[in-house]
Amino acid sequence: MLGLTPIPTISILHTSIRYVTSYNIYTANDFQERDPQSWNLHGFLPGFGWRVLDSRSSGLTTARYSGASFSITSNAGWYQEYRFEVLTTRGTSDMTQISILDLVGYC
């Protein structure tokens, strides 16, 4: 995923509700300046709206194609849509890049 907007987001909409307990993010092949430095993961359920499930400001490793796993520690629950919102990148680039965003949990 390569984002060119001021706050790049990835939205994942499921046909049924899902319970996500953690998520994995993997860096991409080039320029560590494009790696997310701070981000929010949101969950949405019709009738309840958006809730922040996790917020991070520590960034990712500078190694290429490497992953990190993050547990959801607040507002865990059943949601139909998830949104990964990048707030800042590691460098001064106006682009954001990751290779994989993997939501882990159950249906």
d(CA 35, CA 97): 6
Q: Is the pTM of this model over 0.75?
A: yes
Tell how far CA 83 is from the center of its chain: 7
- Give residue-wise pLDDT tens across range 6-59: 668 889 888 889 999 999 999 999 888 889 999 999 999 999 999 999 999 988
- Give residue-wise pLDDT tens across range 46-77: 999 999 999 999 888 888 999 999 999 889 89
Closest CA to 98 of 32, 45, 54: 32
Query: Which residue matches tokens 């899902």?
Result: 18
Percent of the chain with pLDDT over 90: 54
What is 52-97 written as a DSSP string? Answer: EEEEE-S---SSTT-EEEEE--SS-SEEEEEEEEEEEESSS-S-EE
